[in-house]
Amino acid sequence: MTRKVLVVDDDAALREALAQTLELNDLEAITAGSFVVAKDLITAEFDGVILSDIRMPGRDGFHLLDYVSGIDDDLPVILLTGEGDIPMAVKAMSRGAFGFLEKPCVTADLLTTLQRALKTRHLVLENRDFKQQLEEGDPAARMLFGTSQQSDELRARVRAVAPTSAEVLVAGPAGSGISKVAEVIHLMSPRAQAPFVKSPSAGLSTADLRELCQQAAGGSLFLDEISALSEALQYAVLDWVEQGGETRLIAGSTADLAGLVAAGSFGADLYYRLEGMRVRIPSLAERPGDIPVLFRLYVAQAAEQAGIEAPQISQEHLAGLMAQDWPGNARSLMSAAMRFVLGMPDEISGATELGLAEQMAQVERSLLIAALGRQNGRAAAAAEALKLPRKTFYDKLARYGIRPEDYRRA
């Protein structure tokens, strides 16, 4: 989360004292002695907040507030006021100031107000990034979210297979978004302007397959859970793809097709035809660092769907989410986001079925991740916060497969 504060005050001694207080509390202070100097530092992309005195020679805090509103109405401005300026500060609040503090500031009040403003700014910029990704870039960037290496590799694989004419197998755990990845492959292919037709494989007949191929002519046909095809339909699909044509087959599967081939319940010829262009979606358990990004996106979407304002999400809550295994993957994370928006309690499926040792391990893992989340991924600081020797702390990280770098925020 951003920790940048622009301090604007014509009193050099007070300005430097405020900067020192901020830096001692792990905040980054930038100082300016006047409106003229400050305005050159303020842009719509400024990833911090502004702390400004009201009374300054020349253009005062009101001028600064109006200037900031013209640049970015969502950029928090906190005003510092003398004892006699309270009515003036209240007026400033009505004009869009985030808050005001009376001088001399109580350090605890100053830090609390700044942290609240910084969290607000962080969420604003994050939501803008999401919207920009949705509006710009290729479909892989717009629709396949995540900042982990695994997500980067998934997008790279999609970009590699999409332009080809070969059949594709999209494999992944249940709830991981197989259908979405298949659609992205279609949208990034030369067939993007033609139909994208999707159908479950279970219960399909030969007549159904012919009709689907006609509907998808020139585009892509996505058959979900390809393992559910009957033996006869497997041969029919294989014949169709071997004949070639303009329509492309994209198959989806949550099953272990190689294991089904070995067991004789899925055709080896069709499997090897599909396996050549395989796109694997990693589970959320493999990429916990993506959970905060995805959860914030799903919360924003759920709030818009419900017609209410999205609630703030604490780092502790995100750390708790990252500590879970999410067997339902993106689908269950979406459900958790909707419950969060509606104020419903969390549901951790299967927790009561675990033995005491497993439950204790889950709690310990959660505490380790929560500490890393609060300390921005700094392992030494997290170990100190938990009062653990560093070697013990690192041994526990290794035991649970936790990587501190997955919990570092920009």
**pLDDT-based confidence at residue 87 (cuts at 50, 70, 90):** confident
- CA dist 140 and 146 (Å) reads 11
- CA dist 139 and 185 (Å) reads 8
Check pLDDT > 70 for residue 187: yes
Say if strands 48-53 and 278-280 run parallel, antiparallel, or are unpaired.
unpaired
Q: Which is more confidently placed, 264 or 58?
A: 264
Check pLDDT > 60 for residue 383: yes
**pLDDT-based confidence at residue 22 (cuts at 50, 70, 90):** very high
pLDDT tens, 196-240? Answer: 999 999 999 999 999 999 999 999 999 999 999 999 999 999 999
Domains and CATH numbers, the chain: 4-134 (3.40.50.2300), 141-282 (3.40.50.300), 285-407 (no CATH)
Check pLDDT > 50 for residue 350: no
DSSP string over 205-225: -HHHHHHHHHHTTTSEEEEES
Contacts of 211 (CB under 8 A, 6+ apart): none
Predicted pLDDT of residue 352: 39
- With 0-12 / 13-18 / 19 or more C-beta atoms within 10 angstroms meaning exposed / middle / buried, residue 360 is exposed
What would the mean pLDDT of 61-70 be, rounded to a whole number? 88
What would the mean pLDDT of 248-263 be, rounded to a whole number? 95
Check pLDDT > 50 for residue 353: no
What would the mean pLDDT of 262-269 be, rounded to a whole number? 94
**pLDDT-based confidence at residue 348 (cuts at 50, 70, 90):** very low
Asked if residues 76 and 98 have their Cβ atoms less than 8 Å apart, the reply is: yes
Share of the chain above pLDDT 90, in %: 40
Predicted pLDDT of residue 97: 85
First to last CA, the chain: 6
What would the mean pLDDT of 175-189 be, rounded to a whole number? 93
Considering the chain, what is the average pLDDT of its residues? 85
Residue 110 has, within 13 A of its CA and on its CB side, a CA count of 23
Which amino acid would we find at residue 147? T
Predicted pLDDT of residue 409: 58
Residue with tokens 């300390």: 375
Contacts of 395 (CB under 8 A, 6+ apart): none
Top mean pLDDT of 31-40, 137-146, 349-358 is at: 31-40
Q: Which is more confidently placed, 29 or 322?
A: 29
What would the mean pLDDT of 112-131 be, rounded to a whole number? 80
Predicted pLDDT of residue 349: 40
Q: Out of 54-68, 89-103, 149-163, 371-385, which region has the weakest mean confidence (pLDDT)?
A: 89-103
Check pLDDT > 90 for residue 351: no
Say if strands 4-8 and 48-53 run parallel, antiparallel, or are unpaired.
parallel
Nearest CA-CA partner of 298 in 341, 261, 243, 262 = 341
Query: In whole angstroms, how far apart are CA 228 and each of 75, 166, 253?
Result: 53, 22, 9
Q: Which is more confidently placed, 296 or 170?
A: 170
Predicted pLDDT of residue 88: 72
Q: Which is more confidently placed, 100 or 257?
A: 257
